[in-house]
Amino acid sequence: MQVSLSAVKGRTKMELDPRTKLFAMIVVSMIMITGDIRGIGFYIGIGIALIPFVLLLISGNLSKAIIYGILITFSSFMEIMVMNVSGIANIIFLFLSGMISRFLPGVFMGYYLVSSTTVGEFITAMKKMRISDKIVIPFTVMFRFIPTIVDENKSIGMAMKMRGIGIGGNRKNLIELVEYRLIPVIMATVRVGNELSAAALTKGLETNQKRTSICKIGFHFSDLIVFGYVMAGAVLFAFNQMNGF
Amino acid sequence: MSKNVNVSEKKLLEVKDLINVGIFSALYFVLYALTSCIGFIPVFMILVPVVCPIITGIPLMLYMAKIKKFGMLTITGIIVGVIMFVMGHPWLVIFTGTVCGFTADIVLKFGEYKSKKMSVISYGIFSMWSMGAIISLFFGFKEKYLESYRAGYGDTYVDTLYKVTPDWLFWVLVVGAFVGGIIGGMLGIAVLKKHFKKAGIV
């Protein structure tokens, strides 16, 4: 599973500027987390929740788009059903659907952002926003690294299961559980990190010259559409929050 | 070669340091996000700023053992703040992230990057950034925030949240985050001694 900022360009049909993606992500997670699901707010929520679905679909990530679509449809139906149920069932339904509809769009938007952007594009876009190297480099390393951590964690989990360390294993002490899982992961990650710094040195990242890039970053017509849609959603949302229609 | 020596004498951040910032910010953030899943249990949400620093103390103390220059913790604070903001928290979290990171940096410099006591205190201060993420439950933000939850989570949940979050609790949580940081820091130092010294990582 490729979750990191990829090094090579996949077969994307529509190119979006990383800045547009970033803007869309902020708006989507903000509206979904603080949003209201009653009345007009419900429809705005649906409209905004559609953004990650469409973007994932267009970028050729069919399986993720379908998973997301099913989950979000499920939670929307739950939210409609909730109106007719009362008591303890109401709380459970509300909570489940609330969790899904509030956090999932942001998560999948983030997934889309990192899976459809190459490292080069990301750095160039950040540079165009005049962000200092001191922020850009750690950010890039971080996005590149989170999948590595997940990967290492998976392998170490398997190795530890073989030794009977884990939930259901013969060592049930919680502190030991944390210790024997966490420390190998940290060690492995630090080691990979050292190699990364060596690689960065050989690539000449340390010279204080202006970076050049072969990535062409710029706003296109597709950016305008996405930007317009997201902006419309944000304005409607702000309007709704203020006067409640 | 002589140029390199000059650069490190000036205590400027090099690419190597920036990569370290990235790695440990990633470790910190992943662990923090995993631990903060306890917040999904309704009322435990308020405990997140206290519990998380205890677990994340382990990578952070290793990070602090590697820090020899000013500014690295500030950058980590900014990064964590920005990511929390992008994920839908109030913008104040960027501010608290920057301020706590900067203060923690000063404390660390005070101990000349060697003192263990100072690095534990510094971590305690750093942990307080999470107050920026939870501030919407208190003070003037409270009404609006909780009312938007009423539709989403139902009356019972919101009423309970009202009951368990009086304004004074915020200050208790600030202290709680600091104490959680101190405990996590000490735990981290113990782990450092037990595991990483032997492996030659520190």
Tens-level pLDDT at each residue, chain B (202 residues): 444 444 445 567 888 888 889 999 999 998 998 888 777 666 677 888 888 999 899 999 999 988 888 989 999 999 999 988 887 778 889 999 999 999 999 999 988 888 888 999 999 999 999 888 888 777 766 776 776 666 656 667 777 777 777 788 888 889 999 999 999 999 999 988 888 777 776 6
The answer as to whether B178 is a domain residue is yes
Cα gap A146→B123, rounded to integer Å = 22
Domain limits at A75? 18-118+218-243
Q: Report the chain B residue with the minimal C-alpha distance to residue A93.
A: B153
Verify whether the Cβ–Cβ distance B22 to A138 is below 8 Å: yes
For chain A of 245 residues, list the mean pLDDT of each consecutive stretch of 10.
Answer: 51 74 88 70 83 88 90 81 66 72 84 83 86 86 83 87 71 72 87 84 74 78 90 86 62
Q: Report the chain A residue with the minimal C-alpha distance to residue B30.
A: A146
Cα gap A141→A133, rounded to integer Å = 12
Same domain, A87 and A137: no
- So what's the pLDDT on residue B197? 77
Cα gap A158→A177, rounded to integer Å = 13
Same domain, A153 and A175: yes
Q: Which of B:35-94 have CB within 8 Å of A?
A: 40, 42, 55, 58-59, 62, 71, 75-76, 78-79, 85-88
Gyration radius from chain B CA atoms: 18
Same domain, A155 and A68: no
Domain count, chain A: 2
- So what's the pLDDT on residue B148? 63
The answer as to whether A64 is a domain residue is yes
The answer as to whether A66 is a domain residue is yes
Domain limits at B118? 14-197
Which tokens is A215 given?
Answer: 């990535």
Verify whether the Cβ–Cβ distance B22 to A137 is below 8 Å: yes
- Please list every residue in chain A whose beta carbon sits closer than 8 Å to the beta carbon of residue B19: 137-138, 141, 193, 196-197, 200
Verify whether the Cβ–Cβ distance B19 to A197 is below 8 Å: yes
Which tokens is A198 given?
Answer: 């060596």
Cα gap A150→B142, rounded to integer Å = 36
CA atoms within 13 A on the CB side of A114: 19
Report CA-CA distances (Å) from A53 to A11, A17, A20, A223, B63: 18, 18, 16, 16, 38
Which tokens is A132 given?
Answer: 């200092």
Q: Tens of pLDDT along A73-114?
A: 888 787 777 666 666 666 677 677 777 777 888 888 888 888
Q: Report the chain B residue with the minimal C-alpha distance to residue A39.
A: B151
Query: How long a stretch of residues is chain B?
Result: 202
Q: Tens of pLDDT along A107-125?
A: 888 888 888 888 888 888 8
The answer as to whether B139 is a domain residue is yes
CA of A149 vs chain B CAs: smallest distance (Å): 7
- So what's the pLDDT on residue A90? 67
Same domain, A113 and A129: no
Q: Which residues contact B135 (CB under 8 A, 6 or more apart)?
A: B90, B92, B141, B170
- So what's the pLDDT on residue B2? 43
Q: Are B86 and A143 in contact (CB under 8 A)?
A: no
The answer as to whether A226 is a domain residue is yes
CA of A136 vs chain B CAs: smallest distance (Å): 9
Verify whether the Cβ–Cβ distance A106 to B88 is below 8 Å: yes
CATH of the domain at B80: 1.10.1760
Q: Report the chain A residue with the minimal C-alpha distance to residue B158.
A: A91
The answer as to whether A114 is a domain residue is yes
The answer as to whether A164 is a domain residue is yes
The answer as to whether B5 is a domain residue is no
Q: Which residues contact B166 (CB under 8 A, 6 or more apart)?
A: none
Angle made by CA atoms B87, B91, B96, in degrees to the nearest 5 = 105
Q: Report the chain B residue with the minimal C-alpha distance to residue A240.
A: B148
- So what's the pLDDT on residue A183? 87
Cα gap A65→A4, rounded to integer Å = 17
The answer as to whether A84 is a domain residue is yes
The answer as to whether A170 is a domain residue is yes
- So what's the pLDDT on residue B94? 92
The answer as to whether B7 is a domain residue is no
Cα gap B117→B132, rounded to integer Å = 26
Cα gap B119→A127, rounded to integer Å = 33
- So what's the pLDDT on residue A182? 85
Query: Would you give the distance in Å from CA A226 to the centre of its chain?
Result: 18
Verify whether the Cβ–Cβ distance B15 to A201 is below 8 Å: yes
The answer as to whether B202 is a domain residue is no
Cα gap B83→B25, rounded to integer Å = 11
Helix axes B116-127, B92-110, angle to 10 degrees: 170
Verify whether the Cβ–Cβ distance A141 to B16 is below 8 Å: no
The answer as to whether B51 is a domain residue is yes
Q: Which residues contact B143 (CB under 8 A, 6 or more apart)?
A: none
The answer as to whether B4 is a domain residue is no
The answer as to whether A46 is a domain residue is yes
- Please list every residue in chain A whose beta carbon sits closer than 8 Å to the beta carbon of residue B197: none
Domain count, chain B: 1
Cα gap A63→B43, rounded to integer Å = 35
Verify whether the Cβ–Cβ distance B18 to A134 is below 8 Å: yes
